[in-house]
Structure 1
């Protein structure tokens, strides 16, 4: 057997997955990190048995990622040992939220061992009245949407389910069906064209950094996509703030007390926009407050967030791999009025929904998966200069779940940032609550708790306006614009 296994054991890695594998840097590890907090204790033996039965049913999790100049592939790990991937740990001191956040931060800053399958579970035996489980999975295995599906496949709808009640078999039929509708929304029909466009650009040696107009000439048969490409690569760099700058190797993770989902929906109805608009506007307000406190001049300022957009066909709902594009969302941190910020976010999101920006990004990621390292690095740096943060929102089931008999009280996850981006905002809804998470490079934001605490305050401003009808004349006009912008996505 050779260094990388027999050729017959190999399975070629998809080009987009290869791109995520090769994006890893010491300053930005390409891991999706998650934490579940349980109301009751989770036993180590029960967890291992569950993983044997359900997680390892996915062949991919017994495979390691092999990357060489000749290409990347999946290879069966002949020395697979579940004990390496499932670790038992304990928190020091009071074993409370600060200690758990510190441990999650340390693990989010620690690379996975590339000689083994790139995933680990860390069971914290005692946390609160139960346990906590920290999960780390490399992004090359799957995107956040798919990994939420994987984690849901480990859960049940009762502590001791009957076989026919197993959530990993039946959840799509009930509450999960509504979740899936939001996951896999409208069908996307131009993946192949987007991928072909990206490959053609590389084959022709187009210099995307200096001549975006040349991209449009190469794909004259798809003018709208060509225009999106030219727009994406010609975007100005995001303005310099305390959120932009050199990165270190240490990450800081934090999460907020959850919001009531019904209250979030009430605000979205009042403003005639989506739940996602409301949550992103709340994050925008929290970042505004932080920038003001840091002494930044933010009058009229906007910063960009890269927002993952699911492009996974419905029939691939439960398959691994990466099937998403990215869009650049302007966050108007320079607007003082919470209502005006929400309206601006709703307008910006509505424009992006009607663009092909996500498909263009998907095609470029596939192309970068085949590109030489120098091209990959240059393109990554170019794209990361155009945004200050990553923002992602994943809807989960609105019912309590159990994992190996232990009830899940709260859960949160963080997606990796790429290139020089040092901040990530994660939003996850579960059991009629909305959970906010923040991951930050310690050089850019050493105390994310101070920012995450503002999310609720900013949301409560919008809730007050929605409930009290506290609109003055200028806001009335803004609200009208917001209604028009959000009408296509009403109902969130």
Structure 2
């Protein structure tokens, strides 16, 4: 048995029926030319189910010991249970896909088995199929999930992979490909041991000083004495987002061209992550205004950051967070962006003074009150944050899985009492793939967030002077994307809200001049996907 680290154990302890603690997502693929869909997916399923040796902890399940929680190996893996094959009902739109993903994301994982499931989904239009993954957050974080996705794919459309992404072989091959052979240290053993002892003593002293300094700044910010540094609980307003949640989930997703977001950042002197936060802030502001509940104080977002050391593929959870002031009480989009920049920079400055180990300890100390309030059932009354916005770096090159083109990676994360909405995005190839998860009961019209994200990005483009003239506002069609007739459909699970769906959706690539009209674009058929239907920490 292996002891489960404190952060991972926290996800297990926090889980209940209303708050499943798994992360997941939908990967969208286009079949290779000339193959039979059913036969292709059957071959994939057989390959996935044939796995005998697994990377940790994909063959382990949690058990309670005398001194805490441990991972124990499952000697009787039932691969038919973990790898499943499903078919969508006709006509196989994204509506049906994400309605299925919503239901799958709602159910708890079985703790008597290894905490993961993989669903192959056929029946999509335009020769596409999907893979829905569900993994407990105790077993993996967002960056780790990207390593899993990367290990199953190649950059060569002709390459064929004969091992599953969760297999030990995939792990070893990916580690070799990404990091190569580690070089043996040239320092003699005795000198190395002495150096390690001296460095450890110095590190203990420095760590104590650094942590005390960080805690002082954190406490000062809570009482309003640390400038732009935003911290949990300080002036966090109560809205419909900060409510108790039920177990059912709703999911919406959309791709945005990376060039649009990067273009705004270059002109405004902001990072891509700053612009993403500003997009989300503008969308949340519009959403709350439409519900007549925009609060006086700004919303605060938890922005997870990776604390993994370079080359670390072993950690199940190495994640911290920065509290972002979303400036939702600011009308001007440029001023909103500047305030977000300031709060994010203050958070980065605080963490930059700590080593990854120190930052991990600092996160555990500062998150302890959140754990206590959750266990006492006070999270919705004393919310630490308003929502979560997580930006997970993904592959920058186009990927293929046994010849099938990976079109998009749409993450589905966690919500629980105190914040009923989670916005997670993955940067993949030339686009940003957003996945928004919300409590189905508390936020029933969450599909509007997708439209508000587009409107917010257009608003930022106008401020940056990047808005296109009216004559050029038509979206640019990517090569290989077929146009078909429009059909009006309801978003999955949404009551009375209609969206215009196309059989061959496309990315929101070119901005409009004005942001007042609701966007009708849907995700690309051969490059990325989005739709309404169904947690990066």
TM-score (norm 1): 0.76
SS of equivalent to 1:352: helix
Are the counterparts in 1 of residues 244 and 380 from structure 2 also a CA contact under 8 Å? no
Are the counterparts in 2 of residues 244 and 444 from structure 1 also a CA contact under 8 Å? no
SS of equivalent to 1:387: coil
Cα shift readout 1:417-459 (whole Å, capped 9, x = no counterpart): 3443211001111111111110001122112211122211211
Deviation at 1:112, TM superposition (A): 0.5
Q: Map of 1:434-449 to 2, 5 A cutoff?
A: 434-449=432-447
Match of 1:146 among 127, 132, 144: 144
Match of 1:430 in 2: 428
Match of 2:79 in 1: 82
Are the counterparts in 2 of residues 326 and 361 from structure 1 also a CA contact under 8 Å? no
Match of 1:404 among 393, 402, 406: 402
Match of 1:265 in 2: 262
SS of equivalent to 2:438: strand
Cα shift readout 1:328-381 (whole Å, capped 9, x = no counterpart): 21111111122221121111111111013997873266579999x978724994
Cα shift readout 1:85-112 (whole Å, capped 9, x = no counterpart): 0111122242211111111111111000
Distance in 1 (CA, whole Å) between partners of 2:363 and 2:213 is: 19
Match of 2:89 among 70, 92, 103: 92
Please list every run of 5 or more consecutive structure 2 residues that lacks an aligned counterpart in the other structure: 32-36, 162-169, 181-198, 223-230, 469-537
Matched, 1:125 2:122: yes
Match of 2:329 among 299, 312, 334: 334
Please list every run of 5 or more consecutive structure 1 residues that lacks an aligned counterpart in the other structure: 1-9, 175-188, 198-218, 471-492
Deviation at 1:145, TM superposition (A): 0.7
Are the counterparts in 1 of residues 242 and 380 from structure 2 also a CA contact under 8 Å? no
Are the counterparts in 2 of residues 306 and 327 from structure 1 also a CA contact under 8 Å? yes
Distance in 2 (CA, whole Å) between partners of 1:50 and 1:254 is: 28
Cα shift readout 1:187-235 (whole Å, capped 9, x = no counterpart): xx99x989x99xxxxxxxxxxxxxxxxxxxxx77743122245356873
Match of 1:227 in 2: 216
Q: Alignment length, in residue pairs?
A: 417
Match of 1:314 among 297, 303, 310: 310
Deviation at 1:162, TM superposition (A): 7.1
Q: Map of 1:331-480 to 2, 5 A cutoff?
A: 331-356=326-351, 362-363=360-361, 366=364, 377-378=375-376, 381=379, 385-468=383-466
Deviation at 1:134, TM superposition (A): 0.4
Deviation at 1:170, TM superposition (A): 7.0
Are the counterparts in 2 of residues 220 and 226 from structure 1 also a CA contact under 8 Å? no
TM-score (norm 2): 0.70
**Compared CA separation, residues 339 and 308, structure 1 to 2 (3 A):** same
SS of equivalent to 1:156: coil
Q: More displaced, 89-98 or 220-229?
A: 220-229
Distance in 2 (CA, whole Å) between partners of 1:302 and 1:107 is: 33
Superposition RMSD in Å: 3.4
Match of 2:17 in 1: 26
Distance in 2 (CA, whole Å) between partners of 1:248 and 1:362 is: 30
Match of 2:174 in 1: 168
Q: More displaced, 15-24 or 284-293?
A: 15-24
Are the counterparts in 2 of residues 123 and 133 from structure 1 also a CA contact under 8 Å? yes
Match of 1:156 in 2: 154
Cα shift readout 1:257-314 (whole Å, capped 9, x = no counterpart): x21112211110100010011111011111111100001144x530111111111111
**Compared CA separation, residues 433 and 276, structure 1 to 2 (3 A):** same
Are the counterparts in 2 of residues 50 and 154 from structure 1 also a CA contact under 8 Å? no
Are the counterparts in 2 of residues 238 and 303 from structure 1 also a CA contact under 8 Å? yes
Could you say which structure has the higher helix fraction?
1
Distance in 2 (CA, whole Å) between partners of 1:369 and 1:13 is: 18
Distance in 2 (CA, whole Å) between partners of 1:246 and 1:169 is: 41
Are the counterparts in 2 of residues 395 and 428 from structure 1 also a CA contact under 8 Å? yes
Are the counterparts in 2 of residues 306 and 391 from structure 1 also a CA contact under 8 Å? yes
